[in-house]
Amino acid sequence: MRKRIRWRRRFYRTMLLYRNMMLCRTMLPLAAGALAALACVVVTPAAHAGPRAADSPARGARVPARPCAVLTGLPLPGLPGKDTATVTATEVAGSGCQVGIEITDTSDPRGGQPGQIGIDLTLPDTWNGNYMAEGNGVYCSPATFVTLASDQWLAAGYAISQDDCGHTGYPNHLTSLWVTNSSPPPSLNWNRIDDLGYLAQHLMAVESKFMIGQYYGSTARYSYWKGCSTGGREGMMEAEHYPTDFNGILAGAPALNWDQFMVAEMWPQLVMGWSADELPRCKETLVNNALARHCTDQDGKVDGVFDPRDCDVLKVLYSLVGTSTPCGTFTKIDAQVIQAIWQGPRLSGSQDNLLSGLPVWFGMEPGAKLSGAYVPALGPGGGLGLATTFHEPGGQWTGAPFIPSDDWFQNWIKQDTTWTYRDETYQQYWQDFLKSATYDPEIAADNPNLSAFERAGGKLIMWQGLADQLIFTGDSINFYNEILAANGGIGNTESFARYFLAPGVAHCGSPGPGSVAPANPMQQVVDWVQQGQAPSVLNASGSINGTAVTRPLCPYPDPDAAYTSGDPTMASSYTCRSTAQITNPLKVGSSAPRPESPARPAPPRPGENLYRVLVNSCPSFARFVPP
C-alpha cells in the first residue's frame, strides 16, 4: 500500500510542539538559556569498523536447509497491484548464495514507464541468524552482490541485500534520466518515483526476509538497516512508514526533505550568479583556513576541528575583508556571498537583498567545503560541491552547479534538459521551491511521529557531521527537534531514538585525518537491539594534526563533550553534560548579527500551506508566485 505523507513545512512548527518537549526527560532539567532558545528553533555508506567477534557466524551459526538453486523461480509474496517478479539464485564461491530479484512495478495508477526494481541478496554459507539491508547514495547505483572479502557484515554471517531504487540499467547515480517519459504520456514515470522514494526498500525487506526463510528454514532473528545520505533517508522512510521492517536502523547524514533541499542546494550557485561574484577556490580556502585558526576544539585548543555553533564565524568572515589572495583581494561582496550561503535561502522579496527576510531553508555549515571537483562528463552542471567554480580558459571564474541538484531542476521541476541555472530568476526560484514540494509525499522522510516504530521495539541512531558539504546538517537537527516534540520529550525519545553530531566531519565521513567520526555506529545499533545497551555516546576516532585521537559524541540535545582532565587525545578525558541545549538550525555561528528583516509571523499550525506562510511573511511574494 502506498504511504502518503501530509506535506508541511518542517522548521516553522516551533512553540506549540516544543512546549511539552522537555517535560519527560528525567534527571536532565532544561537550563533557562535553552528555554529561551526554544523561541528561535523553528552516497555510499562510509566505511567503519566491523562487527564484534560476538556477532560472528561462529556463535549460533546456521547452515542452509536447501540448495541455493532451489530458490530460482520461487513466487514472491506481498507484491503490490499487478507487479510481477523473477528470481534467480546461484552459488558463488567466496560469497554464498546470490539471489537476484527483479520486480516490474506498475502499481502507481498515475502510470508512466514501469519501475524495474533490482534486488541483490547474498546469503552466506554460515549464517548468524540476522539480516542487514544496505542503503544507497544520491539517485542510487545499481545493486551489487557482496563478497566475504568486500563486506565485513557478510563475513560476520549476516544475510546482506542491496537494491537499485527501481531503475535497473541506469548506472549513473548522480542523474535521473529515468524519471521523465517523452512518449506516451504522462511525462513522469510515477512508478519509478515511488520506487526511489520508498517502495523499492520496503519490497527489498519483504522479499529478502522471505528468501532467507526459504533458504535457511527459519526467519531472521533481527533485521537491520545501514545507510548514509540517500541511505539515511531510506532508513528514516522505513522507520516512519514500515515500522516493522527493521529492528535497528542506522541513518547517517539523512537526505530527509529531498524535494526541498535539492532546490536549496542550488542557492549557493544562484547567490554567486545574482551577485556577479563567482568565488574562486582560493577565497574559500582563505575563509575555511581562518575558521580553523580561530575556532577552538572541545579541549579549548585551536587544531582545525571545531563546532561552528560555538564560534563567532561571521566575525571571522568579515575580518578577512581586504585580505590579499592569489586570486584577488577578498572583498565585502565575497563575505556577503559566503554569509548568504551559510544562512541559506532567505525570502526578502528582492534579489538585491539576499541576507534578510524569511528563512525558507537551511544553509551550509561554516567550515564545510564549499566547492568540489568540476567533472562535466558526469552530468549537468558538472560540479561535485554546492558552490563549485572553475577557471575558464579566458581567465574568468564560472559557477558549476552540483550535478544532482542541476539534474533535479532539469528533469523533475522543469522537465527541460536545456535549462541552466543562469536562466533562474529570483522570482522563479521561489515558484520552483513550491513546485518541487509536490514530490514530498513520495520522497520526503518528514514525519517525526515514530510511535509505531517505538511500539514495534525498533532502535534508531541518526548522526551527521557538522562539516557536511552536501546535505544541510540544519535539516537533521531541526527534524530531530521535531522528533523530540512528537514522541514524548527527550526521555521517552531517547529510549528508542538518538541523534549525534560530529564536529569537523564531512558528508558520511569516516575516521581519518582531521575527521573524528563515528568508529562503528552500526555495531552500536546492534548492541542496542540485541543487548539493550543504549548508546550513551557514539564512539568516534580519527586523527588531528597527525595524532590519533578518540572522542565521545554526545547525544543531542546535549552539547559537545567537555574536556575534563587527562590526555586530550583520549575519549576518557571528555564528559558529556546532561544539559539540554536546543540548537536553532537557522542561526549562523555563536553570535550571528541579525540583518533587519520583516516581522516574523506566528508559527503555522501543522499542515499549514507554505504559500500562505510566505505570503503572510512577505506580501510581495503573492505578486510573482500565484497560489
Residue 194 located in a structural domain: yes
Q: Residue 85, CB half-sphere, CA atoms under 13 Å: how many?
A: 27
Q: Are residues 211 and 353 in the same domain?
A: no
Reported pTM: 0.88
Cell of 620: 510581495
Residue 608 located in a structural domain: no
Residue 161 located in a structural domain: yes
Domain boundary among 220, 250, 271: 220
Q: Are residues 206 and 323 in the same domain?
A: no
- Give the Cα separation of 381 and 388 in Å (integer): 10
Residue 45 located in a structural domain: no
Cell of 411: 528533469
Side chain identity, residue 527: D
Residue 572 located in a structural domain: no
Residue 362 located in a structural domain: yes
Q: Are residues 181 and 290 in the same domain?
A: no
- Domain count within the chain: 2
Instruction: Find cell 580556502 and name the residue.
Output: 285
Q: Are residues 322 and 200 in the same domain?
A: no
Q: Are residues 70 and 156 in the same domain?
A: yes
Q: Domain span at residue 169? A: 51-220
Q: Are residues 323 and 418 in the same domain?
A: yes
pLDDT, position 129: 97
pLDDT digits (tens, 9 = 90+) for 169-213: 999 999 999 999 877 777 899 999 999 999 999 999 999 999 999
pLDDT, position 184: 73
pLDDT, position 392: 87
Domain boundary among 158, 189, 220: 220
Q: Are residues 335 and 202 in the same domain?
A: no
Cell of 382: 558538472
Kindly report the average pLDDT of the chain as a whole number.
Answer: 87
Q: Are residues 196 and 317 in the same domain?
A: no
pLDDT, position 462: 98
pLDDT average, residue stretch 425-439: 95
Query: Do strands 324-325 and 222-228 pair parallel, antiparallel, or not at all (unpaired)?
Result: unpaired
- Report the range of poorest mean pLDDT among 136-145, 469-478, 570-579, 590-599: 590-599
Residue 578 located in a structural domain: no
pLDDT digits (tens, 9 = 90+) for 565-597: 999 999 999 999 888 999 999 999 886 443 333
The 8-class DSSP code of residue 218 comes to S
Residue 380 located in a structural domain: yes
Cell of 156: 560476520
Q: Are residues 348 and 436 in the same domain?
A: yes
Q: Are residues 188 and 95 in the same domain?
A: yes
Which residues are CB-contacts of 310 (< 8 A; sequence separation ≥ 6)? 295, 296, 560, 590
Residue 113 predicted with pLDDT over 50: yes
pLDDT digits (tens, 9 = 90+) for 520-562: 999 999 999 999 999 999 999 999 999 999 999 999 999 999 9
pLDDT average, residue stretch 318-330: 97
Q: Are residues 330 and 182 in the same domain?
A: no
The alpha helices in 242-280, defined as continuous H runs, are 258-264, 267-274
Q: Are residues 304 and 427 in the same domain?
A: yes
